[in-house]
Chains A and B, each alone.
Chain A
Amino acid sequence: MPTSENAFSTALALILSMDSALISIVTLSLQVSLMAVLIASLLALPLGAALALWHFPGRNAVIVALNALMGLPPVVAGLCVYLLLSRAGPLGEWGLLFTPSAMVIAQVILVLPIIAALTRQQVEALHGEYAEQLNSLGLSRRRMIPTLLWDARFGLLTVILAGFGRASAEVGAVMIVGGNIDGVTRVMTTSIVLETSKGNLPMALGLGIILLALVTMINAIAHMIGETAKRRLG
């Protein structure tokens, strides 16, 4: 049983050693998750806004499906991407399986429903407030989208952070489509699983502490940016 004391000292020792393997793991983790969140945001923000503004048959079904997909188990997402990208799969020719790109794709699938569903809620609420004014200005719904997304930006920052939280915390999807290959697709969460299974619990906990610290740091930065902007712009 590792004491928390030696987990912390392992974490500290890892950080201080600037171990190159650790650095590459941390870098890859951040690269994959941030890239996934970026791509998912580019798709999901307009999608969520469109869903808030357009009423079409089956809209409620789409909303329910998105909400349900927020709880999609990462292993299931990983499995689907695995089947798509495996040699025999429809996208097998791309040769992406067991690459960071495959991990990004899997995480996009996990993050997109969260950002789209929460964006839909936020934009719908804001649209309730703005609709008459924007209609009076003669804006089409398509042209309302950028306005509403920009004016909902503080709330949407939190939404994007929720997406990032999901991406950085999951292990199931990146494990399946990445394969936890040392130096290629090994990230924080897959390393933690590996070290745990090897019985190297101080190392696993140490990595866990570093992951938590990184996620906290990114959230703190985003929070500070949001607060400063809010104070400046009301």
Chain B
Amino acid sequence: MNAHHTPPVAALELDNVGFIHRGHALLKPTSLRLAGCQRTLIMGPNGAGKSLLMRLAHGLLTPTSGTVRWQGKPPAQAMVFQRPVLLRRSALDNLTYVLAIHKISRQNRKTQAINALDKFGLAHLAKRPARVLSGGEQQRLALARAWLLNPQVLFLDEPTSALDPAAIKAVEDAVLEFHHSGTRIVMTTHDLHQARRLANDVLFMHNGALLEHTPANDFFTAPTSHEAAAFIRGELVW
């Protein structure tokens, strides 16, 4: 299990993707291409459309205009949410659940689930109800669940915004671990420090528009847009 993938992950292309809700253009027509095994961070102030862009890319929402397309076979994907949605069952059962969906045999489910718990430092909590775990433990369990899905692309929506520094570190380590095993990372954050630590590619959004898609080094040293420059300086941009 988790002989993660070496073949290149299919590129994701958004072609003039827009999203209008009740007359408001929450996402203005946006085109972008994500290829290779990058760690792409989507940045921008609240309400910029970061989460929306990610949901459109993952397929949770259908764009009102434009197309979302994978070049080649759509890859295995998983998503980790800001507030992990865990089932009302034990930590272990939360993991065997996704394995059951993927038709893994009953004996293998348990072994794989226990290995994943172990990998994310949750082995001692296997029997605990998932809902009574701490915020950091819940997020790690969500990551363990994503791990079992063997994703080629992992989406993370502000996965650390409600966590303390130790838990943030654990999540960031897990993200790097996914990436190391060949998973493309697409993650939103509004924490500049976190973006500096993780990004090798930045999408900067503001007011429902994608303003920049640049390599991380260029973004942090010489952003092209005025809004991104202000955002990096720590000014409030609205």
Contacts from A to B (Cβ < 8 Å) = 129-130, 132-133, 135-139, 143, 147, 150-151, 153, 232-234
Residue pair A147, B85 in contact (C-beta under 8 Å): no
> Are B88 and A135 touching (Cβ within 8 A)?
no
Determine the residue in chain B with the shortest Cβ distance to A231: B129
User: How far is A138 from B76 in the complex, measured between Cα atoms in Å?
Assistant: 10
Q: How far is the CA of A232 from the CA of B131 in the complex (A)?
A: 11
Chain B contacts for A129, CB-based, 8 A? 85
Contacts of B128 in A (CB 8 A): 234
Number of interface residues of B (CB under 8 A): 21
Given contacts A132-B85, A133-B79, A136-B60, list 6 more A-B pairs with CB under 8 A: A133-B81, A133-B85, A135-B60, A137-B98, A150-B89, A233-B89
- Is the Cβ of A151 less than 8 Å from the Cβ of B85? no
Q: Which residues of A contact B78 (CB under 8 A)?
A: 136
Within the assembled complex, what's the spacing in Å between the Cα atoms of A136 and B60? 7
From DSSP, what is the main secondary structure of chain A's interface residues? helix
Report which of B55, B88, B98, B101 forms a contact with A233, defined as CB distance below 8 A.
B88
Once bound together, how far apart are the Cα atoms of A221 and B186, in whole Å? 49
Closest 9 CB pairs of A and B: A234-B129, A133-B85, A234-B131, A234-B132, A136-B79, A233-B129, A151-B88, A135-B60, A151-B87
A234 touches B101 (CB 8 A): no
Cβ of B130 under 8 Å from chain A:
yes
CB distance from B41 to the nearest CB of A (A): 20
CB distance from B224 to the nearest CB of A (A): 33
Contact of B60 among A130, A132, A153 (CB under 8 A): A132
Interface string of B79-92 (1 = CB under 8 A from A): 10100010111100
Contact of A136 (CB < 8 Å), options: B58, B97, B131: B58
CA distance A65 to B165 in the complex (A): 53
Measured CA separation A232–B90 after assembly (Å): 9
**When A133-B81, A136-B58 are in contact, do A234 and B88 touch as well, CB less than 8 Å?**
yes
Residues of A within 8 A of B129 (CB): 232-234
23 A-B pairs (CB sep. < 8 Å): A129-B85, A132-B55, A132-B79, A132-B81, A133-B79, A133-B81, A136-B58, A136-B60, A136-B77, A137-B101, A138-B101, A139-B101, A147-B97, A151-B87, A151-B88, A151-B89, A153-B88, A232-B129, A233-B88, A233-B131, A234-B88, A234-B131, A234-B132
What are the residues of chain B within 8 A of A147 when measuring CB–CB? Answer: 87, 97
Interface residues of B in 24-79 (CB under 8 A from A): 55, 58, 60, 77-79
B79: chain A residues within 8 A (beta carbon): 132-133, 136
B77 partner residues in chain A, CB cutoff 8 A: 136
Give the residues in chain A near B98, CB-CB below 8 Å.
137
Nearest CB of chain B from residue A139's CB, rounded to whole Å: 7
For the complex formed, measure the closest distance between the CB of A128 and the CB atoms of chain B, giving whole angstroms: 11
Please tell me if the beta carbons of A130 and B85 are within 8 angstroms of each other in the complex: yes
B168-194 near A? 1/0 per residue, CB < 8 Å: 000000000000000000000000000
CA–CA, A105 to B129, complex, Å? 39
A132 vs B87: C-alpha distance in the bound complex, in angstroms? 13
CA distance A138 to B150 in the complex (A): 14
Known: A137-B98, A137-B101. A233 touches B90 (CB 8 A): yes
A143/B85 in contact, CB under 8 A: no
